[in-house]
Structure 1
Amino acid sequence: PTEEFLPAAGSAMKLESLLKKIEIESVVGRSDVDVSCIACDSRHAKPGCLFVAIPGTRHNGWAFVEDGIARGAVAVVSEGGELFRRDVTHVRVKDARKALGLLADAFYGSPSARMRICGITGTNGKTTTAYLVRSMFEETGEKAGLIGTVEYRIGERAIPASRTTPDAVTLHSLLARMVAAGCSTSVMEVSSHGLAQNRVAGIEFDVAVLTNITRDHLDYHGTLEAYFEAKSILFRTLGLGAKKAVAVLNADDPAGERLRRMVGPGVATLSYGLSGTADVRAEDVRVLPDGTCARIVTPWGKAEVKLRLIGRFNVSNVLAAVAAAGSQGIGLDRMLRSAAAFAGAPGRLEEIPTDMGFRVFVDYAHTDDALERVLSALREICSGRLIVTFGCGGNRDRTKRPAMGAVASRMADLAVITSDNPRSEDPEAIIAEILRGCSGAANVEVRPDRGDAIKRCLEAAEAGDVVLVAGKGHEGFQELADRTVPFDDRVEIRKMLSCRS
């Protein structure tokens, strides 16, 4: 995706003009050189490039400086190191990640200042909320871009996403392309990694949305408090620029109130939730086999809506989207018309049609909180048994493994524990950690091969049952120790259903 979206080298900028945007510790060499592109990956460096060496958790960008220069870099930005070359300018800064964002913003013409930017952060619900917000803006005839876990979208042009929040160069180049394509709004999922690593530096947000904060990514952040602190960056930096910003906060999550106290005095706040005191709230929520009904109450009026989305957690996602879009002046009738027509985001409680009397869903749930919300929603529409299969990703937060096992064994009638993306970990060892939370429950089985696990669930299903295949959602691959192989839960399910019929 990075190569796809990096604009071709266009009008060059003088290095000295770019350097005015960042805090510099020292410059060795000429500052009047022409810069025709910016890269933080040496493989993307080209003649005339400004290469920014980013210190990472696994690799230090300084190790790739010579490769960047060999590919044509005329200047290097880094936090340290000595560059013993007279033909390449060396700029030292205190924070290379922040500098990269500000440099990319300047190089691409400050695109976030030329459009409305809606950032959505939280543990669960980001993707569905982002799709909903984008659809609401497009309902008004606006052209809106999307940056998120599933894809990056500029108008009708889309490409699969490499990660939720891409690096700063890709991010600003995407926004610049959106401006060029006539987009007046960009809706962006903002991950905790993206915030902690300053990938959104230089982006000025009009709206920041919190979905919820529950345990995840503790392998990276260490503690839940550090995870919260990363998420809070989006709200603590809101409204520091020229824009009049709005914070949209979940009244049903304790983090919402904490963040409300953190936002600046010039930032407006809107609360949403299923509770009775939120600014945007739902009343009389009824979960039906084919969707959910509710009365939506807002500062702009109230109305009944029938959603195609299943579950109370999806009502919460709709409320977040209504608060975000409503804060930007979109009428309630248009927002709810869009929400009523919305069939769901790829791999988010996505139903795979079957004519066998039972129902099958695929969902991206990969935390204990998300799994509990989805199973709770499906239990409300299930007249028979609730069957689930899931695994946990390797080289990721291990603390949620037994917690997910506990949720599945408690809430499902049959839980088949399997592999997710094991990466370099032993799949059997991951499963053993999940089983620690199951307490020897009789309704739990193990099928390490994901295909076998899905097959077991489908073979066990009878009329009235509901099957959930959780963890990977929209993903079309499986990451193993030595390779990545094609594997899409939805494709596998369709093949198995076809054989069974």
Structure 2
Amino acid sequence: MKRYLLKDYIDILKKENLVEDVCLCDSILNTSIEKLEHNSKEVANNTLYICKGLNYKPEYLNEAIVRGATAYISEPENVTDPDFPHIVVNDIRKALAAVSCMYYDFPADKINMIGLTGTKGKSTTAYYIKSILDDYMKEHNLPDTAIVSSIDTYDGKECKESLITSPESIDLQEHIANAVDCKMQNLVMEVSSQALKLDRVHDVLYKVGVFLNISEDHISTIEHPNFEDYFASKLKFFAQVENACVNLDSDYIDRILENAQKSKKIITFSTKNEKADVFAYDIKKLTHTSISFRVKTSKFDEEILLTMPGLFNVENALAAIATAMVLDIPFKNIYNGLKVARASGRMEAHVSKDGNIIVIVDYAHNKLSFQKLYESTKQEYPDKNIITVFGCPGGKAQLRRRDLGTLSGIHSKVSYLTAEDPGPEEAVDICKEIAEYVAKEHGNYKIIEDRGEAIKEAILDNPNSVVLITGKGNETRQKIGKKFMPCLTDTQYALEALEEYNKKIG
């Protein structure tokens, strides 16, 4: 990999008007930077160290210097060693993103970057797009598609479960560089509101950017103080997008389209507006796990088959089709890709032997995703009771407790409230808070802190029901305190309970 000199990093920071002062001697300007770090424990000789983070402490810089840092980058308030070579910047997050791009030799310029933002549907849509592109690439004997999502991250060199939706800029640039090294042509990634607000994707230009929808979420003291801050963060996305794919069925569509004008081209999709560039009609549920619809564009009017449940997934499929059209992917690859597309832990349907119980494992975890899930479930299973198993995370997005409790109280025969990454809080306290909102809607609820037990009881004690297990999908870790503790996935818990049920009925 190409190595840049310290002076090159200073130049790029100056080019972006981020530099306030440069305090170092000319003799080190030609030093080759061998490592870029914001973790002081990982610093080695010839490292450019970044003083960043809400929890930054002066001792971190001291450790970085001892370990061999050449210089450090800091905002004015964190210049705790004025005698050591340093660059003072006015925005440490943008600075980190800029130098990360340079350190990895601007990899995003060498691959088709496809970004997705929105309140609901990012992961499923990302995997729909990947499946379409993989079908096309396989046909042409080319490498498959990289993905950075809230489910997992795959860059050609490694595949791992993700802890956050959009990684820090230096980690993101490494994944993009790995994909480029592996000769991949496309990378699909979810772009969270936090990534946009905190400039993790600063300096990344997207060949295609998808805006799925917007609804109130991530409102807390450590995320967004209010909906306007959340929405404004999402809208920043369009300034980095060449071709914008926009859902005309989203709330606040006029404001979204106004901001989408920052992109060179806008492609619209809809299940309601026939004037959309990509329009779905004749939507049908075929089985517990399949849906068909027709899609009309300027190039074709054809039938599509999805083998994931959830009528709302038609919108996600339209977003993937719009993306594929921008990239000139033929219809046959679109059809083939969508037919086999899966997103782990998203709308996974499992049915008991007698067909009496349908279990759906989904990642739904906010107001919009719950609304869509209940709407689809009632439409698809009008004769069955709805049972919901869920919780809310600790230490963030506190409004979800009200929103999800209210919705479950309205739509569920019984709400099973359980642990869902309680983090710094006690799971039972979170459940009790949710229960207040369930009760306000005259809903029935049970608090069972053990997630596996909650899922088991929900399935075994509720015949003729659709059991919705939401919030964690196929995650294998539960955040308790500051630690991520290993656990079974919701699918594993569900299958164990269904096996027990099937044995009972013979």
Q: Deviations over 1:161-212 (max 9, x none)?
A: 2311111111111111101101111111101111111001121111111111
Tell me what 1:7 maps to.
none
Equivalent residue letter for 2:388: V
Q: Deviations over 1:130-168 (max 9, x none)?
A: 111111112211532111111111248411123111111
Q: Is the 8 A contact 1:402 1:435 kept in 2?
A: no
- 2:233 is matched with which residue: 196, 216, 230? 230
Tell me what 1:109 maps to.
105
The Cα of 1:122 is off from its aligned counterpart by: 0.8
Q: Is the 8 A contact 1:285 1:294 kept in 2?
A: yes
Tell me what 2:378 maps to.
379
Aligned ranges 1:36-75 → 2 under 5 Å: 36-56=34-54, 59-60=55-56, 64-75=60-71
Q: Is the 8 A contact 1:300 1:331 kept in 2?
A: no
Change (3 A) 1:70 1:326: same
Q: Is the 8 A contact 1:79 1:94 kept in 2?
A: yes
The Cα of 1:329 is off from its aligned counterpart by: 1.0
Segment of structure 1 superposing worse, 147-156 or 450-459: 147-156
Q: Distance in 2 between matches of 1:61 and 1:317?
A: 43
Tell me what 2:336 maps to.
337
Q: Distance in 2 between matches of 1:378 and 1:70?
A: 59
Change (3 A) 1:376 1:156: farther
Is 1:25 equivalent to 2:20 in the alignment? yes
Q: Distance in 2 between matches of 1:201 and 1:482?
A: 28
Structure 1: runs of 5+ lacking an equivalent: 1-9, 239-244
Tell me what 1:460 maps to.
461
- 1:274 is matched with which residue: 271, 276, 280? 271
Aligned ranges 1:232-311 → 2 under 5 Å: 232-238=235-241, 245-264=242-261, 267-276=264-273, 277-288=275-286, 289-311=288-310
Q: Distance in 1 between matches of 2:30 and 2:374?
A: 60
Q: Is the 8 A contact 1:154 1:177 kept in 2?
A: yes
Change (3 A) 1:458 1:394: same
Change (3 A) 1:470 1:266: closer
Q: Is the 8 A contact 2:153 2:159 kept in 1?
A: yes
Is 1:346 equivalent to 2:344 in the alignment? yes
Is 1:161 equivalent to 2:177 in the alignment? no
Change (3 A) 1:412 1:22: same
Q: Distance in 1 between matches of 2:443 and 2:467?
A: 18
Identity of aligned residues (%): 26
Tell me what 1:213 maps to.
214
Q: Is the 8 A contact 1:210 1:256 kept in 2?
A: no
Q: Is the 8 A contact 2:157 2:178 kept in 1?
A: no
Change (3 A) 1:40 1:482: closer
The Cα of 1:250 is off from its aligned counterpart by: 1.0
Aligned length in residues: 481
The Cα of 1:351 is off from its aligned counterpart by: 2.5
Matched position secondary structure for 2:329: coil
Q: Distance in 1 between matches of 2:199 and 2:102?
A: 16
Tell me what 1:365 maps to.
364
The Cα of 1:299 is off from its aligned counterpart by: 2.3
Dislocated runs of 4+, deviation >6 Å: none
Q: Deviations over 1:82-138 (max 9, x none)?
A: 35475x420111111111111111111111111110110111100011111111112
The Cα of 1:445 is off from its aligned counterpart by: 2.6
Q: Is the 8 A contact 2:239 2:262 kept in 1?
A: no
Q: Distance in 1 between matches of 2:41 and 2:217?
A: 31
Q: Deviations over 1:379-405 (max 9, x none)?
A: 333343221111111111111212211
Q: Distance in 2 between matches of 1:12 and 1:393?
A: 42
Tell me what 2:473 maps to.
473
Q: Is the 8 A contact 1:31 1:89 kept in 2?
A: no
Q: Is the 8 A contact 1:55 1:62 kept in 2?
A: no
Q: Deviations over 1:349-377 (max 9, x none)?
A: 12345435322121111112212212322
Q: Distance in 1 between matches of 2:101 and 2:483?
A: 36
Structure 2: runs of 5+ lacking an equivalent: none
Tell me what 2:417 maps to.
417
The Cα of 1:213 is off from its aligned counterpart by: 0.9
